[in-house]
Structures are given as structure tokens and as C-alpha cells.
Structure 1
Amino acid sequence: MKITALETLRTDEFANVLWVRVHTDAGVIGLGETFYGAGAVEAHIHDTLAMRLLGRNPLHIEAIHREMLNLPMAQSSTGVEHRAASAIDIALWDVFGKICGQPVHQMLGGLCRDKQRIYNTCAGYRYVRSNNIKPVSNWNLEGNEGPYEDLVGFMTRADGVAESLLESGISAMKIWPFDPAAQENQGLYISAEQMKKAIEPFEKIRKAVGDRMEIMVEFHSLWNLPAAMQIARALEPYKPTWYEDPIRMNSPQALAEYAASTNVWVCASETLGTRYAYKEYLDRGAAHVVMADLCWTGGLTEGRKIAAMAETYHRPFAPHDCIGPVGFIAAIHASFSQPNTLIQESVRAFYTGWYNELVTTMPVIKDGYVYPMEGPGLGVELLPAVFERTDLTVRRSSL
């Protein structure tokens, strides 16, 4: 069995999403995905990886994974090289599952539970829909495309969003009300007025629903250490579940100092690439929850190793999702196959919204849980309409 072609697809409308299709001489096509810098990732796949992968056996997933990440420039990061390798790796697992007639979660070891708890990241329908991936600027608040415009919601009526989530059975939500202050002050300090405004959503949630709602706090790595510690102390009375990426993820020592300063869990981080980067944080006690994005950190092959390493440190695993539909489904397969998965990220504005414009199916999500995909491989394909889009760019490297 051989890889006969690598095909990439991207659109102008969903400019950050890149799909990869791995074609084989058995007629099986694997689907993968990554997010951000789609044109650069496309170039790396065709200009650098294609010559190394065409003709290879697609079932030699570990060997191919090592080949892709053994390049001198592909070290522990989530840069172009890792995003390209991630998309291809996910596609190879899709091929593996399709050849065997089994879901990817079975190929990864089988189900560890019958259903997986989710939380809702309170993004809106147009969040990160442009090339401008810059905090606050990427919110794209214009227009209301449906009932789950949760980004505007958490900033203006967080109590109502919490009540809406609880009505659907979802009892955990993630918000980031400190980003505007970070952007205004370059993450150097926060004024008393800014602090009061950013804390308002927490006050509203606790007043409306008490402790029935867990609150995760996303900081997008925007703060310096003293300011981040100040915010952590101010939020502790509201009992957040975790603080995510309070500072840049480039100093395990600094994050360890942060973790020691608060009684709230620290979550880190979808911005880390490969298990080697995570080990630095785990060795220093800097992370209580290990989050990984499979579309950035090295695919399912690397993701399961990160989860296994987290378990050796007695840490829970929590796959990231705030990107595209194929990555979301790949993360769900990983969640079900890992014994230490705490919770799966999801965005209801995405899985009830624009994801359905692009792929054939979405996983069943009910009463605060996601259920396993049942088809072979990832169990999802691009819709035929994607291939007919006038804004579609397709590039193909063939054997």
C-alpha cells in the first residue's frame, strides 16, 4: 500500500482552515486538518514533505511521524512544520481506521468511557473567521447569526449564557474577559477599573446559578507574571476551575511560580508542541491540566503520547478545540481513547453553525456530553459542496 498523492484544500471564507487529503493506491483517502497560516502550511506540505512521503506505506504512521518532525527546523513548537505534520498524521489515522473498518478511537486503544463530558468555550459564530488572528480583533462581533453568540453573551449577559448552557446540560464554560485590558495595557498592568469590569461576568454567573456552573478562564498568554498573579488572586473568590495560559508559554519556571501563587489549577497549553515541551512544565509542577491541540502539536500520534505522559505525572488531559470541524472530531476520538481525559472543549456556535457548512456529520452532543463517532476512520468527510466552492484553492502533489 502506498501514498499516491497529497492534496490540500483551503477557502477564502474559512481562510485559517487547511484540509489535507492523503490518497492511497488502495483507493482509500484520509482526511486531516490544521488551522492558521494555511498558505504557509500548504507550501511546506508540497515543497518539503511530499518528496519524503509519496510512495511510503500510509500505515507506517510512527515512522512517517518521525520523518516529518525530524527536520532541523521542526523542533518543539506549533509552527508551520508541526501544523503540516499534524494534518497529515490525522489523515493517516483516518486511513488506518478505514482500512480496518474501525473508528479511530478503536485504533487508538478503544473506548475508555461511553460518553465524555464537554465544556463550552464561549466564542461566537464569526470568532477567528478572518486572517486577523489577534486577541480582541479576532472576535468579529458584527452580526448575530444564531442563538449562540456566546462571546457577546459572556461580555454583556454572562448570567444568561450560563443559564442557557445549564438548560442544555452543559455545566462548564470558558470565558476571557481580561483580554481587552491586556491589549490596552500590553499585558503590563491592570487598573482597578479594568479589574472590576473584567470580574463582572464572574459575579453575574455566581449570582445567577451559584456553583452549578464551572468557569474556566482563558488568558491567551497576554500578561506578564506580576499582573497575571494579581488577577489570579482577585478571581479566587469566584472559584474558577482553571486558569489557562496566563503568561507566554516560553518559561516553565515563571509558570511554576504562577502555579505556586494560586489555589486554582493551571491549564497549559495548546501552544506547546510535542511531548518534550510539556515535560519541562510537568517536571516543574507548572501545569495541573495538560491541554493539547492535535492540529498543532503533532497530530494524534503525538497527542496520545502527551496524554500518556501527563498520566505518569497524575495529571488530567483536556484536548483543545476552537479551530475547525475535522480537528474537533479528531480531538473527540483522542478524548475517548485516553483514560485520563478530564473534559473535552467544544464551541456550540461552531458545531451547530459553520462546521455544518463544511463536513458531512457532527458528533452527537446531548445533556453536556459528547458521544463516540461510529463510522470507520474519523467518521467524517468534506461535503461535496466544498469541492464546488468558487473560493476554493486546491494543490496536489502526486507520485
Structure 2
Amino acid sequence: MKITAIETTRLTALPNLFWIEIHTDEGIVGLGETFRGAEAVEAYVHSVAAPMLLNRDPLRIEAHSKQLLRGYLGFNGSGVETRAASAIDIALWDIFGQAMSQPIHQLLGGLCHEKMRAYNTCAGTSFNTGGEGRRTIGKGDTRVTERYDDQVAFVECADELAQSLIEEGFTAMKIWPFDVFAPASGGQMITSSEIRRGLEPFEKIRSAVGDKIEVMCELHSLWNGPAALAIARELREYRPFWVEDPIKMDGMQTLADFRKLSGVPVCGSETLATRSTFRDLLAADAVDYVMLDLSWCGGISEARKIGTLAEAYQKPIAPHDCTGPVVLMASLHLGLASPNAIFQEVVRAYLNGFYRELVTQLPVIENGWLLPPTEPGLGMSLSEAMKKRPDCATRISKR
């Protein structure tokens, strides 16, 4: 089998999303995806990556991963080169699965879990990518209408949001009520009154549903060490499942100090790439939970190695997805085949919104659990209707 063409797709309306389809002379087409800087990734794919791949065997996945990730440029960072390599790697695994008539999780060693627990990231459809939704949560003055906007809900009616998630079978949710206070000081300080306001959603959730749902707190790396500690020490009372990315996640010693002093579990980090960076994170004893984004860390090949490394340190993994449907599906395959995977992130606003317009198949979620895909490869392809949209831009490199 040989690679005959590399086709890329992006949408003006969703400018961060980027897809790659790798065509072969046997008619198999592999699908990959990454997120942020779609035009820059597109340029790199066609100018640098395509010449490396065309007329090559797509099943030499490890060799391609090493060449793209550990070449002269791109390693140890989540920049354009790594994002392109990540999308390509996912597509190559999709080809492998289709060629073997097996889902990717089987090729990774088979199921370690009969299903995967999901947690809902409480974003609205406009978070990161834009779009519209159709969900109503809340009562009276806090009613959120004509949108499926959990992000508004966690600020205005977090108690009812938690109850709505429980009713759908979710046992965990993630919110970020402190972010709004960071711009005033550039994350250098947070006042006592701001901390108190940021804690209000946690108080509402615990008062309304008690411990029926786990609550994660995302800090998006917006704070310095002292400010993040000030938040965490007050947040501890509400028993967060984890505090995610409290500081810039390249400060391993500062992060390790935060973990020891804060008294809360630490999760990190979707923003990091390659196993060597995660090795440093784990060696510093800086996290309790390892989060990785398959579209930023190096694809399935590198994510699998990071997961194994985390397992050696007895740390669970929880793949990230607040980006696109292909990465969600690839992450599910990885998590199902990883003994130390405990959660898969989902955004129900995306699953019930624009994700449906992009691909032919989405993961099946029942009562808060994601079921194993059964189709060969990823089990999805890009929607033909999406490709016919007037804002769709495609580019092809051929051998």
C-alpha cells in the first residue's frame, strides 16, 4: 500500500479546526484532525510533510511518527509541526484499522474497559469555535434560552446545571469561574472578594446535589503560583476532583510546589506535547492526573507512550477534547485500550450541536458513558454535506 494523495480541509466558520485525509492506492482514506492555526498547519502539511509521505507505506506509522516529531524541527513543543504530525498520525492509524478491518482500540491491544466514563466540560457552542445551540437551563431570571450554553449556566445557575447533567447520567463536570478575574492583573493576583465570587458555583452545586457529581476546576494556566494557591486553598472546601492547569505548565518545580502546598489534586496538561515533556512532569511529581490532547501531543502513537509512562508512575490519564469530533473519537479508542484511563472529556453542547454537521458518526454516549466504537479504524469520515459548504477550503498534494 502507498500514499497517493494528502487532502486537507478547513472551514471559515470554524477557523481553528483542521482535517487531513490521507489517500492510498488501495482506496482506503484515513482521517485526522488538529486544532488552532488551521491555515498555518495546512501550509506546513503541503510544503513539508506531504513530500515526506507521498508514495510511502502508510502502515509504517512508527517510522513516520519519529520522522515528523523528532526531526530537525517540532519536537518537545505543541507548535505547527507537532499539530500537523498529530493529525497525520491519527489518519495513519485510521488507515491501519481499515486495512485490518478492526477498530483502533483493538489494534492498541484490545479493550481494557467495556465503556468509558465521560465528564462534561461546561462550555457553550461559542467557546473556542463559535456556533449556535438549542438548550434551555434554569428558571426565572437565570433562564438561558435558545442556546445549549452550559458556560452561561455554570455562572448563573450552577445548581440546576449540575442537576441536568445528573439526569443525563453524567457523574462529573468541569467549570472555570475564576478565569474572568485574571485579565485585570494578568493573572498576578486575585482578591478575596473575587475568590468568593468564583466559589459561588461550587457552593451552589454542593448545596444542591452534594457529592452526586464530581466537579473539576479548570484554571487555564492563567495564574502565577501565589494566585493559584490562593484560589486552591479556598476551593479545597468544595472537594474538587482536580484543579487543572493552575499555572503555565512548563514550570515543573513551581507546579510541584503548588501540588504540595495546595492540598488539591492537580491535573495537567492538554497544552504539553511529546513524551519527554510528560516525563519531566511526572518525574517532578507535579501532577495527580495526566491530561493529554491527541491533536497536540503527537497523535495516537505518542499519546500511547505518554499513557504508558503515566501508568509507570501510577497516574491515571484523562484525554482532552474541547476541540473537534475526530480527536474525540481517537481519544476514546486510546482510552478504551489504556488500563489507566479513567475519564474521557466531552462537551455536550458540541455533541448535540456542530459536531453532528462535520462527520458521519459520533461516539455513542449512554447514561454518561461512552461505548466502544465497532467500525474499522476510527469509525467515522468527514460529512459530504460539510465538504459542499461554501466556506469549505480544500487543498490536495499528489504523488
Within a 5 Å distance, the mapping from 1:213-292 to structure 2 comes to 213-292=213-292
Which residue number in structure 1 is paired with residue 136 of structure 2? none
SS at match of 2:305: helix
- Answer yes or no: is the 8 Å Cα contact 1:175–1:215 preserved in 2: yes
- Unpaired segments ≥5 residues, structure 1: 132-143
Which digits, 9 at most, give the CA deviation of each residue in 1:84-133, with x for residues without a partner?
000000000000000111101111111111111110000001111259xx
Aligned to 2:391: 391
Aligned-CA RMSD value: 1.4
Residue 196 of structure 1 and its aligned partner are, at CA, apart by: 1.2
Task: Measure, in 2, the Cα distance between the counterparts of 1:292 and 1:145.
Answer: 33
Q: 2:177 maps to what in 1?
A: 177
Residue number in structure 2 paired with 1:356: 356
Q: Kindly report which structure 2 residues correspond to 1:124-139, keeping only aligned pairs within 5 A, or say none.
A: 124-129=124-129
| Mapping of residues 303-342 of structure 1, within 5 Å | 303-342=303-342
Q: Contact between 1:15 and 1:130, CA under 8 Å: does it hold in 2?
A: no
> Which residue is 1:89 aligned to?
89
Q: Distance in 1 between matches of 2:75 and 2:62?
A: 17
Q: In 1, Cα distance between the equivalents of 2:216 and 2:100?
A: 38
Tell me how far 1:374 sits from its aligned partner: 0.9
**Which whole-Å CA distance do the structure 2 matches of 1:184 and 1:76 have between them?**
32
Give the drift of 1:191. 1.2
Task: Tell me the CA shift for residue 342 of structure 1.
Answer: 1.1
Shift of 1:69: 1.2
**How far apart are the structure 2 equivalents of 1:23 and 1:211?**
49
Aligned residues: 388
Aligned position for 2:103: 103
The 2-side partners of 1:192 and 1:229 are apart by 12
Task: Tell me the equivalent position of 1:70.
Answer: 70
One-letter code aligned to 1:102:
Q
* 3-state SS in 1 of match to 2:295: coil
Question: TM-score, with normalisation over the residues of structure 2?
Answer: 0.95
TM-score normalised to structure 1 length? 0.95
State the SS of the aligned residue for 1:184.
coil
Give the C-alpha shift of residue 387 in structure 1: 1.6
Kept in 2: contact 1:111–1:336 (CA 8 A): yes
Q: Which moved more, 1:53-62 or 1:188-197?
A: 188-197
**Which runs of no fewer than 5 residues in structure 2 stay unpaired?**
132-143
User: Which residue of structure 2 aligns with residue 139 of structure 1?
Assistant: none
Q: CA deviation at 1:145?
A: 7.8
Cα deviation, 1:33-80, whole Å, max 9, x if unaligned, reads 000000000011001111111111000000000111122221211110
Contact 1:16-1:130 within 8 A present in 2 as well: no
Q: Distance in 2 between matches of 1:159 and 1:380?
A: 36
- 2: distance between equivalents of 1:107 and 1:267? 28
**Corresponding letter in the other structure for 1:317:** I
Tell me if the contact between 1:272 and 1:292 (Cα under 8 Å) persists in the aligned partners. Answer: yes
3-state DSSP of counterpart to 2:165? helix
Which string of whole-angstrom CA distances, capped at 9 and with x for unpartnered residues, describes residues 11-37 of structure 1? 101111000000001110000000000
Aligned-pair identity (%)? 50
* Letter aligned with residue 165 of structure 2: L
Note if contact 1:247-1:255 (Cα within 8 Å) is conserved in structure 2. Answer: yes
* Paired position in structure 1 for 2:134: none
Q: Say whether 1:191 aligns with 2:194.
A: no
